[in-house]
Structure 1
Amino acid sequence: MSTLIQDSIAGHALRLLSRGRLFRYAEEKDPSLWRRFVNLDKSGRMAETGHPGPEPEPDADSGSMTQVPSSRSQRRPPITQYPSQAWSSNGQRYQGMTGATINPEKGRDVNVVDWWDENDRENPQNWPLWKKTVVTSEICLLTFSVYIGSAIFSAGIPDVMQKFHISQVAATLGLTLFVAGYGCGPLLWSPMSEVPQIGRNPVYIATLAVFVALQVPTALAGNLGTLLAFRFLTGFFGSPALATGGATISDMYRPSKRAYGIGIWGMSAVCGPVLGPLVGGFAAQAKGWRWTIWELMWLSGFTLVVLTIFLPETSSTNILYRRARRLRRLTHRHNLRSEPEIEIAGLTARELAMITLVRPFTLNFLEPMVFLLNLYIALIYGLLYVWFESFAIVFGEIYHFNLGQIGLAYIGILTGVIITIPPYYWWMHRYLEPKFDPVTGALPPEARLPPAIIGGLFIPVCLFWFGWSARPDIHWIMPIVGSGFFAVGAFLLFNPVLNYLSDAYPVYAASVLAGNDLFRSSFGAGFPLFATAMYRNLGVDWASSTLAFLAVAFVPIPVVLMKYGETLRKKHSRFARKDI
């Protein structure tokens, strides 16, 4: 348990208050360990080329430069042969510890701080399974606590209409602006969490604290303008979990195991909108719309306390940065630097702004694979929110459920997810994992897409089933059973696509996922505004069928990417991975 607290926000605060006496790291207990954290290969390359990466050599076939491993580890003398400080001899400067000649033009006397070895216990991918499970559960709790904020408000829309004397479209803006807020937020928060000096935890905790605080003025809003403004802001500040949560899972699990963690995290994202009407329905029915916001504050406040105490940092770049900073303080050697720290040190303010604000748009609009998949996911997300708005018509007006009982009708969707997880995990274990390269651990991203094809077919099946079975002469269980197929389709679509994007764009995963969140949230924010009118004018049957036909049109996208994705990645993409 102490390892969870040590690297949490509370742990850092206790270390600061105790002046470093509590939750000490290994190198603080034994300062002589600092040498073990220096990567001699990378340090030697810094002396020779000014960059810690492998030395580029020309490719004989293409004439391009390819990265090859250095052989310095085979010819380097033992670590104790050279002094730890740089020295000069015969007009040449030599790097301490490695003995490498410092190139006077581009070399730098920098010792690169890295993992102790491939089994370093501070590396999140080497954490024990129990610790990964606890952290995954915390990210799921965070995601659920924020995601429920969209649908929990929908139960109070009738009361908002009555209290503020407004139309249903105007009241629905409280839902759509929240969704729009958590679509815009990741464009700032997700790239910020990739900065070594910041990391993921400060972004999570700071934004969640603001999210909790903003629930108070939201619940006390005296007019529609105040309510809508604060709903947008709460969505904006609650958004990091929705895009960065997947990156946190990727921090801990190797590619062959990552999809399992993403699957559980995806389930928590589904549970939020599904259980929101159930949790908020009975509260709104008994106490009015304001109690739905108070419930959201209590849940997110509890999550804030848990994460502040028990959520450790998972960003390897931030962990290495803080390790290098501790070693500089302990040894007074200012040339100790982590590799992420070295890379970001050369960036100008303009380049940082490009990474933070521009890259998500560049990747999502100029990369054809990203654009197609994001458009497909956005469509499904928009259909989900349109379809959710029909539940009040189907179960309230056709089957005469009360507000709380309408919330119970969403349980069919949750059941669909629970049923889908075991066969999906079986497929990954039986067919996907054996395809990973045993040496590099890599897998062609296109290998993850077969379930997405199946998932795409379940979406129109659900909509047709739901639309044509929702009639007074058919028992209410039939549309609820049909609703479960949407969860099957969405789960089988979202998980392969998010893993595909992370595999194809590993260096830019945060920006790609932030753009994905913006795409789907834009559709999720806009579609509910016309949902009620659409279902009333076309009827439940033909309105659902219209959505189903739209879903059918997008089914070929995963098929196309499975066939041509590798060609697109290697020949027509500037940012995608090309070595697999």
Structure 2
Amino acid sequence: MSAPRDLENLEQVCSLDIHRVQSSRLRNEGLPEEDELRVGIESKIEVDEAARKQRVISFSPGDPENPHNWSSGKKWFITASGILAVTNSTFASSLPSGALPFIQKDLDVERVEVAVLTISVFLLGYFFGPILFAPYSEWAGRRTVTLVAFGWFVIGSICCAVAPNIEALLVFRFLTGMGASAPMSVTGGVLADIWHEPEQRGRTMAVFSAVTMIGPTLSPVIGGFVSNSRLGWRMVFWIEVIVSALSFIPLTFCPETFAPILLLRKARRLRSQGATGLIAPLELEDRSFKSSLKTTLSRPFRMFFFEAVVLLVSIFLSFVYGVFYLFFQSYPLIYEGIYHFGPGISGLPFIPVGVGGGLAYFAVLIWDAHLRKLTARGETFSAEYRRLPLACIAGPIYVISMFWQAWTVRADIHYLVPIAAGVPFGFAFALLFIALLNYITDFYEIYAASALAAASMCRSLFGAAFPLFAKHMYKGMGINWASSFLGMVAALLTICPFLFIKYGDAVRRRSRFHRFLQERKEMFELREKEEGEEASTATSRTEHEGAEEIKDDIEKEGK
């Protein structure tokens, strides 16, 4: 009886890939305190020596199970399915904005702020959802988390459509937001799993960031027109159910992409086929739910409060994000109050915002082409110069768009003039997110997930809070000065990317996380150098012994 196919080339798939094991373990551990950094590294060296005695599997070159080696068609199907799911999630976030007057009237809601909560509580679900789903994803993989959460999202949408009162609607919107947060959190990781080349991955992430603006900019238009028809506001949520159900179908055909989970399954399969002593890198970690939950809860908060880069980027993007959702309340005030648009028509000014977001993708392509030319000349770049110039351009454009809108919203100025301000606003909005989130990823490497989680949670809180005071601010300050005030705050925050470029080296030296990463890299470089010298010595010894044997054979034949 022949051995199973997986065991034929067992030695090719089994290796002591300690670097991957160590990186995976560090990704799931909290960072040691300042006086424990050195001790932590020394203890990890001892752990690595014990791990050398294990037969740890990894993907062999060209392994078809490695997501990096999948066909382009398969990768693009997964990419399109993930982007479609995220677009659906963002579509649902602002969908009730055009239906709020009808919800308020039909459900006998006295205060408009209570009706606005249908948007705010959804974004609060974005805050709490990752706390629940992130630890579970370490157990079951990205595919399972996405399917469970998106199914949750579809069921929640159905409940919103049949909600008997405003209290039930708010509860169901919160739960729906939690389910919608999983595609938002997971899809970026999925794209990193399957697209190995940095250039291709960067372009895909740019498409992802630009396309996700389509949902929030179209949903107010749909919500306004549908609610104003005989179909009523409940039909808005039934449309959400239909679209989300259609988006759910391709997700069911997407495979797992998270390499550690794939290796874990492979190790279990090989052991079931008779191979003994094989383990996956994940099996060397503490994978208890309690440990995972503790890390997920604590590290993002520690990075937010003690890492200057995470704090400033989070505040900047959160403000930009909050203003975007504030527009869902201010646009009706502007275009219904001043220009007398109807409920559906008042949502049309959001379309230029989506157009601007799409243009941001082409800006990324132009910048990537420029960097390739410079790299071909032998030039190298820090994370600041590779990512932040786009943010330095986008920031001032964002401020200009805010003042443009603020002082052209007048009855004696044609409505197309303030509407056109949405194009630079959407362009700057998308470009800021692409540049700053990529900068965080480059800066913190294996800790990027926690840094991005901190930024995401802060962003969700701003997005939930801003719509609640929008009408009070615009009525109290006036439309012109309210938008101008937001532009002034944005102008102050625009300084952040310039500061990062100027003081990036100093910030890295002060960052405990970055210092720890550098010491870890030095440790691995030293070890690889030692192992290379040992391998070279062993090869020389083998060649010498082989030459001696050949010499002896020749002498014997001569005799």
What is the TM-score with the length of structure 1 in the denominator?
A: 0.80
Report if the CA contact (8 A) 1:249-1:262 is conserved.
Answer: yes
1:563 corresponding residue in structure 2: 502
Between the aligned partners of 2:362 and 2:326, the Cα distance in structure 1 is 28
Deviation of 1:268 after TM superposition, in Å, equals: 2.3
2:76 corresponding residue in structure 1: 133
Report if the CA contact (8 A) 2:121-2:174 is conserved.
Answer: yes
1:490 corresponding residue in structure 2: 429
1:160 to 100, 103, 115: 103
Report if the CA contact (8 A) 1:172-1:528 is conserved.
Answer: yes
Deviation of 1:282 after TM superposition, in Å, equals: 1.7
The range that moved more, 183-192 or 486-495, is 183-192
Between the aligned partners of 1:520 and 1:436, the Cα distance in structure 2 is 38
1:374 corresponding residue in structure 2: 314
Q: Which amino acid aligns with 1:352?
A: S
Between the aligned partners of 2:376 and 2:74, the Cα distance in structure 1 is 25
Report if the CA contact (8 A) 2:79-2:191 is conserved.
Answer: yes
1:294 to 220, 234, 238: 238
1:185-205, Cα deviation, whole Å (9 max, x unpaired) = 112323433x2x421111100
2:281 corresponding residue in structure 1: 339
Between the aligned partners of 1:107 and 1:301, the Cα distance in structure 2 is 46
2:226 corresponding residue in structure 1: 283
1:180 to 80, 101, 124: 124
Between the aligned partners of 1:203 and 1:250, the Cα distance in structure 2 is 17
Deviation of 1:227 after TM superposition, in Å, equals: 0.7
The range that moved more, 549-558 or 250-259, is 250-259
Secondary structure at the counterpart of residue 410 of structure 2: coil
1:403 corresponding residue in structure 2: 343
2:87 corresponding residue in structure 1: 144
2:145 corresponding residue in structure 1: 203
1:548 corresponding residue in structure 2: 487
Q: Structure 2 vs 1, CA of residues 415 and 37 (structure 1 numbering), >3 Å: closer, same or farther?
A: same
Between the aligned partners of 2:257 and 2:320, the Cα distance in structure 1 is 30
1:84 corresponding residue in structure 2: none
Report if the CA contact (8 A) 1:181-1:232 is conserved.
Answer: yes
1:221 to 153, 159, 163: 163
Report if the CA contact (8 A) 2:392-2:498 is conserved.
Answer: yes
1:97 corresponding residue in structure 2: none
2:445 to 492, 503, 506: 506
Report if the CA contact (8 A) 1:186-1:244 is conserved.
Answer: no
Report if the CA contact (8 A) 2:16-2:54 is conserved.
Answer: no
Superposed counterparts of 1:57-456, under 5 Å: 106=50, 109-117=53-61, 119-166=62-109, 167-193=111-137, 195=138, 197-253=139-195, 254-286=197-229, 287-309=231-253, 311-333=254-276, 335-342=277-284, 344=285, 346=286, 350-431=290-371, 434-435=374-375, 444=383, 446-456=385-395
Deviation of 1:165 after TM superposition, in Å, equals: 2.1
Q: Which amino acid aligns with 1:185?
A: G
- Structure 1 position 481 matched with structure 2 position 420: yes
Q: Which amino acid aligns with 2:211?
A: S
Deviation of 1:271 after TM superposition, in Å, equals: 1.2
Between the aligned partners of 1:244 and 1:435, the Cα distance in structure 2 is 31
Q: Which amino acid aligns with 2:113?
A: V
What is the TM-score with the length of structure 2 in the denominator?
A: 0.82
Q: Structure 2 vs 1, CA of residues 496 and 432 (structure 1 numbering), >3 Å: closer, same or farther?
A: farther
Q: Structure 2 vs 1, CA of residues 437 and 471 (structure 1 numbering), >3 Å: closer, same or farther?
A: same
- Structure 1 position 33 matched with structure 2 position 4: no
Deviation of 1:279 after TM superposition, in Å, equals: 2.3
The range that moved more, 525-534 or 269-278, is 269-278
Between the aligned partners of 2:179 and 2:451, the Cα distance in structure 1 is 19
Aligned length: 498
Q: Which runs of 5+ in 2 are unaligned?
A: 27-36, 523-559
- Structure 1 position 518 matched with structure 2 position 494: no
1:14-36, Cα deviation, whole Å (9 max, x unpaired) = xxxxxxxxxxxxx9655423332
Between the aligned partners of 1:432 and 1:377, the Cα distance in structure 2 is 28
Report if the CA contact (8 A) 2:387-2:435 is conserved.
Answer: yes
Identity over aligned pairs, percent: 31
Report if the CA contact (8 A) 1:324-1:336 is conserved.
Answer: yes
Between the aligned partners of 2:141 and 2:261, the Cα distance in structure 1 is 5
1:442-501, Cα deviation, whole Å (9 max, x unpaired) = 963552111011111111111111121122221111111111111111111100111111
Deviation of 1:124 after TM superposition, in Å, equals: 2.2
Q: Structure 2 vs 1, CA of residues 64 and 355 (structure 1 numbering), >3 Å: closer, same or farther?
A: closer
Q: Which runs of 5+ in 1 are unaligned?
A: 1-26, 53-61, 71-102
Deviation of 1:521 after TM superposition, in Å, equals: 0.7
